[in-house]
């Protein structure tokens, strides 16, 4: 009994000493302020995050050949605002981003999202002694944080108008999920989006049924937290059909019958018809030749153009269209 009391006494004294030390010990010494001039500096400690980011389209936003060509090698300086932005915490959460002069080749980089004005960085923990002096900032998780660039085409507004907003599902849940679903492992910095086929496939469903003696094709936005497609005006999604061929027979060319698109600013003849979150679009297949068994396919395009606009061939490599869903329909 006395042994147990002694042990308890030791524990109480120990806990007390620990508590006193916690209260009165000098604070963790702050690391000296460090100027960050390149996101490569982050790789020294955050190799996995850096490697994921290097794979991402954020990292390619300056030197991707499509961007270089479409911006005329950034002689169209309007493009720099979002493709090499100043730190979001500097311009302000929910504010429009501004272009930067330095490290442009790193595109949308670690510094653009994490750098704070005082030289520390925004993160998920407070650790003043670490070289980058991270400060926990909940703002990193808010859709407004991404909105400086990604709301330029109303994507955040589209999300806000959706049920995903009401349910508390936001940008990071789909585009920066926890690695292996485990919050302890941190978030995936590849920031997957329209370039990721699995994510695009999960965004929409394709169905077909007979209605009034003709095929009615339905596309439903089941998984995107915003319109489909969204954000980039260059994106498009096209519906094609062709007669269902017997095994081994030539099915013939695909025939285009519907397009989801938001027009470029110069396109006075294109009507915006993106598929809103949760929306189902029923598209009648009016072609009288589409009477029997048919194939229907939904293709996704990162650039809206086809080499031959009169007879678009989604399977021609030059057109760089990605098959999202394909259906076989028989009456």
Partner 1 sequence: MRLPLACAALGALAGCGGADAPAAFEHYPAVERAIARLEAEVAAQERAEPPPAARELEREHVPGLVRMLAHSSGRARELPLEEVRALGDAATPTLAALAAGAETAPEERAAACELLGEVASQLATSHLLELCEKAPEAWLRAHAAFQLGRVGRDHVLPRVLRRLKYEADQEVVVWLASAAAAYRNYAGLEALWMVRNAPRTTDLSALAEERLAAIAQEAGVADPDEHYQLWFGGDPEGRLPAAEPSARLRLEAWRRIRDLRDFQLRGVDDGRFVLSRLGTWIVDPLCEALHDDDRYVRVHAAQCLERMGPRALAAGPTLLTALSDPTLAIDAAAALGGVAYPGAEPALRELLTSSRDHELRVAAARALGRLGLAVSIPALRAVVEGEEPLDLRQAGATSMVQAGAGDEVALRLLAMMSDPAADRPAAEAALEQWLSGREDAVSRAVFERWLALAPPPGIIPTAEEVEQRLARRAELLRAIPR
CB of 302 to partner 1, least distance (A): 11
CB of 305 to partner 1, least distance (A): 10
Q: State yes or no: residue 309 binds partner 1 (CB under 8 A).
A: no
DSSP 37-65: --THHHHTT-HHHHHHHHHSTTTTTTT-H
Q: State yes or no: residue 232 binds partner 1 (CB under 8 A).
A: no
Cβ count within 10 A of residue 253:
13
**CA 228 to mean position of chain CA atoms:** 12
Is the CB of 41 or the CB of 202 nearer to partner 1? 41
| Strand segments (E) across the chain | 121-123, 134-136, 204-211, 214-221, 236-243, 255-261, 280-285, 294-301, 321-329
Identify residues 136-165 at the interface with partner 1 (CB under 8 A): 151-152
Residue 157 corresponds to which tokens in the numbers above? 């507004």
Q: State yes or no: residue 5 binds partner 1 (CB under 8 A).
A: no
How many residues belong to the site for partner 1 (CB under 8 A)? 33
Q: State yes or no: residue 108 binds partner 1 (CB under 8 A).
A: no
Q: How far apart are CA 169 and CA 96, in angstroms?
A: 23
Which segment (99-107, 167-175, 293-301, 323-331) binds partner 1 by CB under 8 A? 99-107
Is the CB of 88 or the CB of 219 nearer to partner 1? 88
Residue 156 corresponds to which tokens in the numbers above? 């955040």
CB of 241 to partner 1, least distance (A): 28
| Burial call 300-315: b when 16+ CB within 10 Å, e when fewer | bbeebebeeeeebbbe
Which segment (13-21, 171-179, 196-204, 262-270) binds partner 1 by CB under 8 A? 262-270
CA distance readout (Å), 278 to 48, 82, 98, 198, 228: 35, 28, 33, 18, 10
Which segment (2-10, 23-31, 62-70, 133-141) binds partner 1 by CB under 8 A? 62-70
Q: State yes or no: residue 2 binds partner 1 (CB under 8 A).
A: no
Q: State yes or no: residue 195 binds partner 1 (CB under 8 A).
A: no
Strands 121-123 and 134-136 come out as parallel
Q: State yes or no: residue 103 binds partner 1 (CB under 8 A).
A: yes
Q: Report the run of H or E that residue 78 belongs to, with start and end.
A: none
Residue ranges that bind partner 1, judged by CB under 8 A = 35, 37-38, 40, 62-66, 68-70, 73, 77-78, 81-82, 86, 95-96, 98, 100-105, 151-152, 265-266, 268-269
């Amino acid at each position: 009994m006395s042994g147990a009391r002694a042990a308890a006494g030791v524990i109480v004294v120990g806990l007390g000493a620990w508590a006193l030390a916690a209260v009165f010990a000098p604070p963790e010494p702050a690391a000296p302020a460090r100027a960050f001039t390149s996101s490569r500096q982050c790789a020294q400690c955050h190799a996995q995050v850096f490697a994921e980011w290097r794979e991402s389209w954020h990292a390619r936003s300056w030197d991707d050949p499509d961007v270089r060509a479409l911006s005329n090698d950034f002689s169209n300086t309007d493009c720099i605002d979002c493709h090499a932005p100043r730190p979001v915490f500097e311009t302000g959460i929910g504010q429009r981003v501004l272009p930067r002069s330095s490290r442009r080749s790193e595109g949308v980089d670690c510094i653009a999202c994490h750098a704070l004005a005082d030289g520390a960085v925004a993160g998920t923990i407070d650790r003043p002694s670490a070289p980058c002096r991270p400060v926990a900032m909940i703002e990193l998780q808010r859709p407004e944080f991404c909105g400086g660039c990604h709301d330029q085409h109303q994507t955040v507004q589209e999300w806000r108008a959706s049920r995903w907003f009401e349910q508390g599902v936001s940008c990071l849940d789909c585009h920066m999920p926890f690695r292996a679903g485990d919050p302890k492992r941190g978030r995936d910095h590849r920031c997957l989006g329209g370039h990721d086929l699995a994510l695009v496939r999960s965004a929409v469903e394709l169905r077909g049924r007979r209605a009034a003696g003709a095929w009615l094709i339905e596309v439903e936005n089941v998984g995107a937290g915003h319109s489909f497609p969204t954000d980039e005006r260059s994106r498009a999604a096209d519906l094609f059909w062709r007669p269902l061929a017997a095994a081994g027979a030539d099915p013939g060319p695909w025939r285009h019958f519907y397009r989801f698109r938001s027009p470029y600013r110069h396109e006075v003849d294109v009507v915006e018809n993106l598929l809103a979150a949760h929306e189902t679009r029923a598209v009648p297949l009016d072609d009288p030749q589409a009477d029997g068994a048919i194939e229907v396919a939904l293709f996704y395009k990162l650039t809206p153009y086809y080499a031959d606009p009169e007879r678009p061939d989604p399977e021609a490599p030059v057109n760089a269209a990605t098959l999202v869903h394909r259906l076989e329909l028989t009456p």
